[in-house]
Structure 1
Amino acid sequence: MSRQKAPGYAGLVILALLLGLAFLGADIEMLDSINIAAPVWTIVALAYLLLRLLIDWRADRRGRAAMSALLAAGYIIFALLIFRPLWNGVDSVAATGESLRLVSFNINKDNPEQREVARWIETQSPDFVVLLEARDRAGSVSRLLKKQYPYQYDCRGDGNCSTLILSRTPALAVMPHARGDAENRKAISALTARFSRGGEEIAITAAHMPRPWPMGSQALRLRELAALAAEPSASQIVIGDFNNVPWSFSMNRLAVDMGVRLMSRAVPTWPTGGPAALLPIDNIYGRGCLGLVDLTRGPEIWSDHHPLVMTARTGGCGG
C-alpha cells in the first residue's frame, strides 16, 4: 500500500479494531464496557461505512469498497447478536390471569427525602416494592411503608442488607443470596422471594450489581446470581439495578443462563439531574407465564436513578 493510499484506509482500520474489541467483550469484562455505548457507535460506524462504500464504488476503488462492505456486514451481525434482547422481550399478551403491580427504585442511600419517596410509592399502590440502597432505620422508606407492606425481606435475612423486597402478603419462601458483607461488595446483594398470586406461584428476585468498570468483577457476580437465583419451575421476575445495559454481552449471558427475557424495554433510568436519562441500567426480566400490561418510568426523587413501575399478569397461559 502506497503512502498516498494509506490515509484512505485509516478509518476502516479504526472501525475494524473497534469491532474486534467489541466482540472480545464477550470474554473480557473490561472490553464489554465498550458495548455500553454500542447504540451510538454502531449507528455512526454503519453510516460511515455505507457512505464510504458508495463513494469508493463510484470512484472505482473496488478493493476499498469491498472492505467497507465486509466491515458493514460485520457491524450488522454484531448488532443482530448484541441487541437481540431489545426485540425479543416478553410477550405482552402471554398471560391472562391475575395482575400484579411492582415498583423498583434505587432510592440512593443518602436520599434526604425518604418521606417523599414513601409517599410517591404509596400513590402507585404496588403489590410489591423492590428497594435498593435502602436503610432500615428511623424515618427510612421501608419503615414508613411498614404498615402497608408488613412483610419485608432483605438479601442477608438479618435486616442488614440494603436490597429489599416489600410485600402486602407473606412470602412462601425467601432465599437471601448474600453470603457475607454485601454492603461493601464482598457478597452478592440479591434475594429471591416466592409468592402466591391467584393460585400461581411467582418468584421475585431483586438484585443490585456492582459496576462493570473499574471494579471489573460484575461478570462474576452476574454468573453467581444466575447460579443462585434461577427458578426453572416457576414464573419469575428478575429486577433491580444492574449497573449495566441489557445489550451488553454479560447481561445477554445472564438472560440466557436464567432463561429470562427483557420486560423493561430498555427504558433509560440513569442519570437524573440532566435534560434526560441516558442509560437503562435498572431493568426487569421475566420468565414463565408472565405478560406485560404497562411499564412507566417514575420521576426524579432525590436519587440518581428513576424508579420503574410495572403492571403485569401472571397465569392463564394454559398447558
Structure 2
Amino acid sequence: MHRAARFGLVVCLLLLAAARFGGSYAVLDLINLAAAPLAAGSLLLAVFLAFRARRWPGRVLLLLCCVPGLAVLFPERSEPVTCGPSAQRLRVAWINAHHPEQPDRIADWLDAEQPQVVGVAELRTGLALRNVLQERYPYWRSCLGGGRCSTLLYSRAAPLGAQSLAHGDADNRKALSAVTMTFGSGTTGADRQALPDTRIFAVHLSRPLPVGAQRYELLKLDEYLGHSASALIMGDFNMSPRMRLLRDFAARNGLRVTPTGRPTWPSTIRGRSLPGLWQIDHLIVGRDWRVTAIRIGPDVGSDHRGFVADLCRPAG
C-alpha cells in the first residue's frame, strides 16, 4: 500500500513539474488539462503518507510535497474591480451553440441579460437560432464572407468595421475560425447607449489534438490583434486556463485571461445536465478594460455553458 502510494505521489509530482514546460513543448502542455486532478491526487497521497510516516523529517518532507498541488488548486485570486460613475461600460455574451434543440432558451437567456455584443460558435447555417439572433442583433459578421462559417459576432450597434479572419475551411479545422468588429465612441445601439472604443473578437480554436494546431491559430490571431490594450477576445479556446499556450498568448499581447469561477464544458452528456469539468470558454481582455462581473449561463441545450461579462473602462 505504501509503495503504491509513494509511486503515485512521485508520478503526480513529476507530471505537474513537466507541465510547467508546456510553453516550450506542446505535448507537455496537454498535462495541464488534467492539472486539477493531478494536484488533488498529489495532495491526498502526500497527506496519507505523512500521516503514516514514523519520523518527523519524513513527515515534513511529505508535507512540502503538498505545495505544488496547493499552487494549482488555490491560485492567487484577483481583487474585486470597481469603476467610477464616469467609466465607459460594456456587456458581452458568449455561447458555443453546439446543436441547440431549443433556440428559444438561448433567446430567453440573452433577453434576460441584454448584452450589447454576442459571440457564437458552432452556429450552423439553416438553424432557427440564426433568425432568433438576427431579430435581436441586426449587425453581424461570420468568420467567412456570406455567413458561411459557424463562428459569428452579433451586435445591436452598427460597427465602424468588421473583418472575417478565416482564410479557408475554418469549420473543418483548416483555418483560424475567428471574426472581429471595431466600435467607436460615436457608435450607438438601438437603446442609444454609446459603445466604447474597442475591438471585439470571437474565436473558436481547434481541439488540443493534433498537437500544434492551436499554436498555429494563436500565432495567426497575433497578426490581427494590433493595438491590444482595448481588445476583447471571447471564444471557445478548447484549452483550460492552466495551459501555458493560452497564458503565453495573453502575456505576449498584454492581455489577461478572466477566470469564470465555474467550468463551461461539458454541460450535458446524453441529455443529462452536468456542472461541467473544464473551463474552455474564455474572456481575454486588454489592459484598458476591467471585468466587474462574469456570470456562467444556464443550460440552454448546448453541451457548453455560455457566459455574460460586465466590463468597464475607467475614465482618463
Q: Same fold (TM over 0.5)?
A: yes
Residue matched to 1:283? 282
1:260–1:286 contact (8 Å) kept in structure 2: yes
Residue matched to 2:234? 239
Deviation of 1:194 after TM superposition, in Å, equals 1.2
Alignment of 1:187-206 (within 5 A): 187-197=175-185, 198=194, 200-206=196-202
Alignment of 1:27-176 (within 5 A): 27-53=24-50, 55-56=52-53, 58-59=54-55, 62=57, 68=62, 71-72=65-66, 79=72, 87-88=77-78, 92-93=81-82, 96=85, 97-108=87-98, 110-137=99-126, 140-176=128-164
Residue matched to 1:209? 205
Residue matched to 1:299? 298
Residue matched to 1:227? 223
SS of the equivalent of 2:89 reads strand
2:46–2:65 contact (8 Å) kept in structure 1: yes
Going from structure 1 to structure 2, the CA distance change for 1:13 and 1:95 (only over 3 Å counts) comes to same
* Deviation digits for residues 80-125 of structure 1 (CA, Å, limit 9, x no counterpart): 9xx86x6358x622565232221101111x3232344234323322
Output the CA distance in 2 between the equivalents of 1:15 and 1:293.
36
Output the CA distance in 2 between the equivalents of 1:95 and 1:255.
26
Output the CA distance in 2 between the equivalents of 1:10 and 1:314.
51
Deviation of 1:289 after TM superposition, in Å, equals 2.5
TM-score of the pair, normalised by structure 2: 0.82
SS of the equivalent of 1:146 reads helix
Structure 1 unaligned segments of length 5 or more: list them: none
Q: CA RMSD in A?
A: 2.9
Going from structure 1 to structure 2, the CA distance change for 1:312 and 1:59 (only over 3 Å counts) comes to same
Q: Does 1:181 align with 2:169?
A: yes
Structure 1 residue identity aligned to 2:300: I
2:141–2:153 contact (8 Å) kept in structure 1: yes
Identity rate, percent = 29
* Deviation digits for residues 157-194 of structure 1 (CA, Å, limit 9, x no counterpart): 33211111101111122232211111111100012211
Aligned length: 302
TM-score of the pair, normalised by structure 1: 0.82
1:161–1:182 contact (8 Å) kept in structure 2: yes
Structure 2 residue identity aligned to 1:222: L
Structure 2 unaligned segments of length 5 or more: list them: 186-193
Going from structure 1 to structure 2, the CA distance change for 1:226 and 1:52 (only over 3 Å counts) comes to farther
Output the CA distance in 1 between the equivalents of 2:4 and 2:141.
61
